[in-house]
Amino acid sequence: MIDAVELCKNFRDKKRGDIHAVENVSFTCKPGEIYGLLGANGAGKTTTLRILATILAPSSGTANVAGFDVVREPQKVRAHVGFLSTATALYDRLTAVETVEYFGQLFGLDSATIARRTNELFKALDMEEFRDRRCAKLSTGMKQKVSIARTLIHDPPVMIFDEPTNGLDVMAARSITDFIRQCRDRGKTVIFSTHVMSEVEKLCDRIGIIHGGKMRAEGTLAEMRQNYRKDSLEEIFVDVSGDTR
Amino acid sequence: MSLRNSLIVYRKELRDMLRDKRTIRSMVIIPMVAFPLMFLGIGYIGALSSGEAHREVSPVMVEGGAHSPKVLAALQKFPGIRIVPYQNDARKEVSDKKIRAMVTIPPGFDAAIASGHPEQVSIGYYQEDEKSELARDKLQKFFDDYRDRVAREALVAHGLPASLLEPFSVKAGNVAPPAKVGAAIFGGFIPYLIIIFCFTGAMYPAIDLTAGEKERGTMETILSSPVSRTDLVIGKFLMVVTASIITAVLSLLSVGVSLAWGGRGMMGAAGSSLKIAINPSAVLAVMVLLLPLAVLFAAGLLAVALLAKSYREAQTYVSPLIFIVVTPAIVGTMGIDLNWKTAFVPILNTSLVSKEIIAGTYHWGYMAAIFGMTCVYAALGLAAAVHMFNREDVLFRS
Are A200 and A221 found together in one domain?
yes
Q: Per the domain annotation, does B324 fall within a domain?
A: yes
Measured from the Cβ of residue B15, the count of other Cβ atoms closer than 10 Å reads 14
* Integer Cα distance of B196 and B266 in angstroms: 21
Calculate mean pLDDT across residues A18-22.
Answer: 91
pLDDT of B383 over the 80 cut = yes
Task: Out of A94, A121, A155, pick the residue that ends a domain.
Answer: A155
Contact B349, B370 (CB under 8 A): yes
Are B89 and B156 found together in one domain?
yes
Q: What is the DSSP letter of A59?
A: S
Rg, Å, chain A Cα set? 18
CA atoms within 13 A on the CB side of B48: 6
Q: Per the domain annotation, does B118 fall within a domain?
A: yes
**Coil/strand/helix, residue A2:** strand
Are A59 and A162 found together in one domain?
yes
Are B311 and B385 found together in one domain?
yes
Q: Per the domain annotation, does B49 fall within a domain?
A: no
Higher per-residue confidence, B150 vs A242: B150
Identify all chain A residues contacting B8, using CB atoms and an 8 Å cutoff.
102, 105-106
**Which residue of A lies nearest to B21 if distances are taken between CA atoms?**
A93
Domain with B114 in it: 57-165
From chain B residues 181-220, the ones with a CB under 8 A of any chain A CB are 216-218, 220
Are B79 and B183 found together in one domain?
no
Identify all chain B residues contacting A75, using CB atoms and an 8 Å cutoff.
226, 228
Q: What is the DSSP letter of B162?
A: G
Calculate mean pLDDT across residues B222-251.
Answer: 93
Number of domain units in chain B: 2
Are A125 and A223 found together in one domain?
no
Q: What is the pLDDT at residue B179?
A: 66
Q: Given an 8 Å threshold on Cβ–Cβ distance, is B224 in contact with A83?
A: yes
Are A71 and A136 found together in one domain?
no
Task: Out of A128, A155, A182, pick the residue that ends a domain.
Answer: A155
Q: Given an 8 Å threshold on Cβ–Cβ distance, is B8 in contact with A106?
A: yes
Q: What is the pLDDT at residue A244?
A: 46
Q: Per the domain annotation, does B326 fall within a domain?
A: yes
Are B383 and B255 found together in one domain?
yes
Helix (H) / strand (E) element for A236: namely helix A233-242
Question: For position A52, which CATH number holds?
Answer: 3.40.50.300
Tell me, what amino acid is at B100?
R
Higher per-residue confidence, B51 vs B293: B293
Distance from CA of A174 to the nearest CA of B (A): 22
Are B182 and B111 found together in one domain?
no
Q: What is the DSSP letter of B68?
A: -
Are B158 and B208 found together in one domain?
no
Are A239 and A166 found together in one domain?
yes
Q: What is the pLDDT at residue B278?
A: 65
Task: Out of B125, B142, B165, pick the residue that ends a domain.
Answer: B165
Q: Given an 8 Å threshold on Cβ–Cβ distance, is A106 in contact with B16?
A: no
Q: Of A147-156, B24-33, B90-99, B310-319, which range is least confident?
A: B24-33
Q: What is the pLDDT at residue B344?
A: 87
Question: For position B114, which CATH number holds?
Answer: 3.40.1710.10
Are B197 and B297 found together in one domain?
yes
Reported as a pLDDT band with limits 50, 70 and 90, residue B381 is: very high
Higher per-residue confidence, B31 vs B250: B250
Regarding pTM above 0.95, the answer is: no
In the sheet with A34-38, reading across from the earlier edge strand, the strands are A81-85, A158-162, A189-194, A34-38, A206-211, A214-219
Identify all chain B residues contacting A89, using CB atoms and an 8 Å cutoff.
216-218, 220-221
Q: Given an 8 Å threshold on Cβ–Cβ distance, is B16 in contact with A57?
A: no
Domain with A150 in it: 84-155
Facing residue for A78 by CB, picked from B9, B225, B396? B225
In sequence order, which ranges of B267-363 are alpha helices (DSSP H)? 268-273, 280-305, 311-318, 321-333, 348-358
| Interface predicted TM-score (ipTM) of this complex, two decimals | 0.92
* Integer Cα distance of A158 and A3 in angstroms: 12
Are B27 and B121 found together in one domain?
no
pLDDT of A245 over the 50 cut = no
Per residue in A104-161, pLDDT (tens digit) is 999 999 999 999 999 999 998 889 999 999 999 999 889 988 999 999 999 999 999 9
Mean pLDDT, chain A, integer: 92
Largest Cα–Cα distance in chain B? Answer: 104
Are B203 and B158 found together in one domain?
no
Calculate mean pLDDT across residues B319-342.
Answer: 84
Identify all chain A residues contacting B9, using CB atoms and an 8 Å cutoff.
106
Q: What is the pLDDT at residue B264?
A: 53
Q: What is the pLDDT at residue A24?
A: 95
Q: Encode burial over B90-122: b for 16+ CB neighbours within 10 A, e otherwise.
A: beebbeeeebbbbbbbeeebeeebeeeeeeebe
Q: What is the pLDDT at residue B62?
A: 93
Sign of dihedral through CA atoms B262, B265, B267, B272?
A: positive
Contact B291, B354 (CB under 8 A): no
Tell me, what amino acid is at B138?
K
**Coil/strand/helix, residue B64:** coil
Distance from CA of A189 to the nearest CA of B (A): 17
CA B16 to chain centre: 34
Q: What is the pLDDT at residue B252?
A: 80
Distance from CA of A107 to the nearest CA of B (A): 6
Q: What is the pLDDT at residue B102?
A: 95
Rg, Å, chain B Cα set? 31
* Integer Cα distance of B341 and A227 in angstroms: 78
Q: Per the domain annotation, does B131 fall within a domain?
A: yes
Q: What is the pLDDT at residue B41?
A: 79
Per residue in B255-302, pLDDT (tens digit) is 777 766 655 554 544 444 445 566 778 878 888 888 899 999 999 999
Number of domain units in chain A: 2
Facing residue for A93 by CB, picked from B8, B16, B396? B16
Interface membership of B12 toward A (CB under 8 Å): yes
Calculate mean pLDDT across residues A3-8.
Answer: 96
Calculate mean pLDDT across residues B205-217.
Answer: 93
Q: Given an 8 Å threshold on Cβ–Cβ distance, is A108 in contact with B226?
A: yes
Distance from CA of B218 to the nearest CA of A (A): 5
Calculate mean pLDDT across residues B176-190.
Answer: 71
**Which residue of A lies nearest to B392 if distances are taken between CA atoms?**
A56
CA atoms within 13 A on the CB side of B30: 13
Q: Given an 8 Å threshold on Cβ–Cβ distance, is B220 in contact with A94?
A: no
Share of chain B above pLDDT 70, in %: 93
Calculate mean pLDDT across residues B219-232.
Answer: 94
Are A7 and A71 found together in one domain?
yes
Are A60 and A148 found together in one domain?
no
Q: Given an 8 Å threshold on Cβ–Cβ distance, is A102 in contact with B393?
A: no
CA atoms within 13 A on the CB side of B388: 23
Are A184 and A115 found together in one domain?
no
Are B240 and B356 found together in one domain?
yes
Are A164 and A243 found together in one domain?
yes
Are A39 and A93 found together in one domain?
no
Task: Out of B109, B143, B165, pick the residue that ends a domain.
Answer: B165
Task: Out of A108, A126, A155, pick the residue that ends a domain.
Answer: A155
Q: Encode burial over B140-172: b for 16+ CB neighbours within 10 A, e otherwise.
A: eebbeebeeeeebeeeeeeeeeeeeeeeeeeee
Are A143 and A243 found together in one domain?
no
Contact B27, B201 (CB under 8 A): yes
Q: Per the domain annotation, does B47 fall within a domain?
A: no
Task: Out of B144, B165, B186, pick the residue that ends a domain.
Answer: B165
Contacts of A149 (CB under 8 A, 6+ apart): A96, A99, A100, A118, A121, A122, A125, A127
Q: What is the pLDDT at residue B326?
A: 87
Are B376 and B311 found together in one domain?
yes
Per residue in A35-83, pLDDT (tens digit) is 999 998 889 999 999 999 999 999 999 999 999 999 999 999 999 999 9
Strands B122-125, B81-84: pairing kind:
unpaired
